[in-house]
Structure 1
Amino acid sequence: MEPVNIIGAGLAGSEAAWQVAQAGVPVILHEMRPVVGTFAHRTGDCAEMVCSNSFRSDDDQMNAVGQLHWEMRAAGGLIMAMADRHRLPAGGALAVDRDAFSGAVTAALRAHPLVEIRAGEVRDLPGAGNWIVATGPLTSDALGASIAALTGAEALAFFDAIAPIVHADSIDMTLAWEQSRYDKGETVEEQRAYINCPMTRDDYEGFIDALLAADKTEFHEGETAGYFDGCLPIEVMAERGRETLRHGPMKPVGLTNAHNPGEKPYAVVQLRRDNALGTLYNIVGFQTKMKYGAQTEVFRRIPGLQRAEFARLGGIHRNTFLNSPTLIDDRLRMHRAPHLRFAGQVTGVEGYVESAAMGLLAGRMAAAQALGRDLPPPPVTTAMGALVNHITGGAEAKSFQPMNVNFGLFPPLDEARGGRRGRKDRYPAYTTRAKQDFSAWLAG
């Protein structure tokens, strides 16, 4: 049997390879790392997480991304299985030990008898075969040029930012305290999954002044800084108004300072555990394009981080994606070259889980093709189906931008299913319908 070839061993490519192999079809997974490195990656492992270590909410009743988690687990997804195995306390979110997670994904793929991992850069799109392109936000210049030549138009681009990571033993716990917002979590450990650094009004105003005045990364000539709203650098948010951060990642609600319970913080900076040992924490929502020296100076203004030591500082990188509504069909195939499927962030979905979900579908569809079958996408009433519908025609092509999964992508409910009720009734009705329809698709 001719193998399925996959370019890129990020979350989408790794999930696609697993799904192909689990269907009994041989697969060759091409990954340029570590032969060719990138700005953001540190290793040659599969599914390396370069930004946050969180898969966001794991609530499959009230949250669309939680429903997407459910669907990926139901489909035997490798990414969710390894995320569950290496999860960290994070309140209602699914956060993972990023190194253990990517190591486990790599080990599982290498151990599968139908998976071959080839190191080296694929510089040109192939002209025939059964291929999946899952190169993610850091598609190499050579392959990006090949994609642009095939599409007949330049790929769209925006800029993605990375948050810094702090050594836990450098955080001053006489000022900071452990607590998840609203004490979310079933165990004491989960309820104390975050470290919180409180700010007075003077602390906050001084921080905003320093943030706005700090040296920032300059873009190359001809580049314009379009950002995805879900991953804005904190200085860009601050430029939108001095109170923006206090109502965003630095909001003080749902938290009580254990050192001074009677005094409400004006703002709070949260840090989330980044590894199982609890030795590393990332600063939640603090993606940044500040230069390294400025980051150290500005972040050490935060109470509790005055002597912070950084395992990794933040950064910014170019992120490319296709105008998928004009280029890709609902089997994730390129109209002009149907032997090529695309998966992951390059399709215009945003987020770890969304990218992996498109890899899951592309892998299943490519395996079906190899076995002489056609696999339609899941119904649009499901989280995966809603995403596919959005990127392959549901979105307006002229204004297409990366999108996280959300209930706004789902078809409306009729009144009998909670269509005109509040969120508390409507959201569970969405997820109940999605579970039923996705289960039927899997069984079909």
Structure 2
Amino acid sequence: MDPFHIDILGAGLAGCEAALWLAGQGVAVTLWEQKPARFSPAHQNPGFAELICSNSLKAERLDSASGLLKEEMRQMGSSLLPAAQSVRVAAGGALAVDRDAFSAAVTARVEAHPNITVRREEATAIPQGRPVLVATGPLTEGALAAEIARLTGDSRLHFYDAVAPIVTAESLDYDKVFAASRYGRGEADYLNCPFSKAEYEAFYEALVTAQRAPLHDFDREGCAAPDPDAVGKKADTVTVYEGCMPIEVMAARGADTMRYGPLRPVGLVDPRTGHRPWANVQLRAENRERTLYNIVGFQTNLKWGEQKRVFSMIPGLERAEFVRYGVMHRNTFLDAPRVLTAQLCLKEHPDVFFAGQITGFEGYMESAACGLLAARSIWARLNGRPYTPPPPDTMCGALVRYLTTENKHFQPMGANMGILPPLEDRPRDKRLRYLAQAQRAAASMQRWVDAQA
């Protein structure tokens, strides 16, 4: 009998993790990688699993979201974590690596595996007739992006990312934040953060003077649009569509611009004062469980520390826990809730699997973890066995559930404790609560892995 054979497009973290795991099961893998024949605007190293923006793979301690994710990856048989450990550099409690050495270590592992054939050429089409895994990352472009758009529907593939911050529900001050719909119409789907005039003026001044994050050329290209106001702007600004304008750019147009835009207070009454607020920020539930809230209209390119400082001035967010900061950069990702199943394959083309950041798994380790999940799903398919993702009380299972749950405002999501279901007996201390959630998740993941064997 011929061995199982699949194609994997893209030798980033997700593609390499999936290739090594499947090859370890005896699957013949053809791994496509366009470098060095062609580089994306962000890549420079011809090796695999290239880290672009940072050399940090985040915290290792179990009571953190990233530490829990790593523990689950170890249980699933990660190959990239041992590679990272072999080239780590000092970074306190975080796992940080020498980027070039990490890429070299992963490349060596992949190229040395007898079941992996590497094709150093650009994939411009999705192979037919057998399962294929697309793991081409957030800068997927050209003919392949057009092919994915054709398979999923053009409106279901996004080509830039303008993301607002997300905070945990439990960190909000409900003495200030109130639920209400404008003019009392319909359900109170939003939480409201009302400003007094003095609070708004202080917030506005902090916002327009806050430091912005530097942008790569490909980020500017990803959100570029004609803008007559762009003449003379500094190199660290971005020309944007009106619909994804950073809140700091909007504020720079005038002190009242936000009050007639996303911070408009019309139709609302602050229950503390009995009057309409001077301005109002709305929070929209990010998940069905309402444990996470998105700050509506706050797409931003501020540095993360500045976001924490300035956005904590919003009434009710003084002690907010940010599980994702806002970003504005080029990013190709699927409208996962509409097109992906929990098995990480397309609903309408079940032989086409996806993994990595193109699915909406946001982050280095998240991308690699998604590669492992997709590999296990493919392995089950090849063997004619049913596959269900890890339970939702694991970090990997919670991320899959987030990706595949209906959400008309879908945006990529990284590992965070806010997406895990709450504990029945909930410790008051956050560190102890996170540790208990992580221990529950690790035990649940081990049971899942054992059942898959």
> What TM-score bracket applies, with the shorter chain setting the length?
0.5 to 0.7
User: Do residues 92 (structure 1) and 104 (structure 2) align?
Assistant: no
Match of 1:328 among 340, 343, 360: 340
TM-score normalised by L of structure 2: 0.66
Matching of residue 353 in structure 1 with residue 365 in structure 2: yes
**Aligned residue in 2 for 1:344:** 356
Counterpart amino acid of 1:146?
E
Structure 2 equivalent of residue 379 of structure 1: 391
Which residue number in structure 1 is paired with residue 46 of structure 2? 44
Q: Structure 1 residues 2, 350: closer, same or farther in 2, change over 3 A?
A: same
Secondary structure class of the residue paired with 2:350:
strand
Q: Distance in 2 between matches of 1:369 and 1:26?
A: 15
Aligned equivalent of 1:4: 6
CA 1:148–1:427: 2 relative to 1, 3 Å = same
Distance 1:231 1:85 in 2: 38
Aligned mate of 2:234, from 214, 220, 228: 214
Q: Partner letter of residue 346 of structure 2?
A: M
Contact 2:339 2:347 in 1 (8 A): yes
Structure 1 vs Structure 2 CA RMSD: 3.3
Shift in CA distance, 211/424, structure 1 to aligned 2, threshold 3 Å: closer
Correspondence for 1:132: 133
Give the structure-1-normalised TM-score. Answer: 0.67
1:433 Cα offset (Å): 0.7
- Residue 102 of structure 1 aligns to a residue whose secondary structure is helix
1:398 has 2:446 as partner: no
Count residues in correspondence.
Answer: 328
Q: Does the aligned pair in 1 maintain the 2:22–2:29 contact within 8 Å?
A: yes
Residue 51 of structure 1 aligns to a residue in which SS?
coil
Identity of aligned residues (%): 40
Q: Letter of the aligned partner of 2:445 in structure 1?
A: F
User: Quick check: 1:4–1:367 contact (8 Å CA) kept in 2?
Assistant: no
Say if 1:145 and 1:96 are closer, same or farther in 2 by CA, change over 3 A: same
CA distance in 1, matches of 2:362, 2:10: 17
Distance 2:368 2:147 in 1: 23
Aligned to 2:318: none
Match of residue 447 from structure 2? 440
Q: 1:318 matched to which residue of 2? A: 330
- In the TM superposition, what is the alpha-carbon distance from 1:144 to its structure 2 partner? 1.0
Gaps of 5+ in 2: 164-205, 214-232, 248-293, 314-325
* 1:365 paired to 2:383: no
Equivalent runs, 1:73-152 vs 2, <5 Å: 73-152=74-153
Quote the offset at 1:221 in angstroms: 7.6
Q: Are 1:387 and 1:409, in contact at CA under 8 Å, matched by a contact in 2?
A: yes
Matched position secondary structure for 2:396: helix
Q: Give 3-state SS (helix, strand or coil) of 1:103's partner.
A: helix
Q: Quick one: distance in 2 between partners of 1:21 and 1:318? A: 32
- Deviation string, structure 1 residues 390-432 (Cα, Å, up to 9, x no partner): 1011xx42111111111121122112xxx25331321111111
Q: Secondary structure at the match of 2:351?
A: strand
State the partner residue of 1:59: 61
- Structure 1 residue 219: deviation in Å? 4.1
Q: Secondary structure at the match of 1:91?
A: coil
Displacement after TM superposition at 1:98 (Å) = 0.5
Give the CA deviation at 1:362. Answer: 0.6
Q: Note the 1:134-173 alignment, pairs <5 A.
A: 134-154=135-155, 155-159=157-161
Q: 1:119 to 1:77 in 2, by over 3 A?
A: same
1:360-385 residue CA offsets vs partner (Å, 9 max, x unmatched):
11112212322333332111111111
- SS of the residue corresponding to residue 330 of structure 2 reads strand
Which ranges in structure 1 are unaligned for 5 or more consecutive residues?
Answer: 162-204, 248-286, 289-315
Amino acid aligned to 1:398: K
Query: 2: distance between equivalents of 1:216 and 1:343?
Result: 31
CA contact (8 A) 1:328 1:335 kept: yes
CA 1:214 to 1:75, structure 2 compared with 1: closer, same or farther past 3 Å?
same
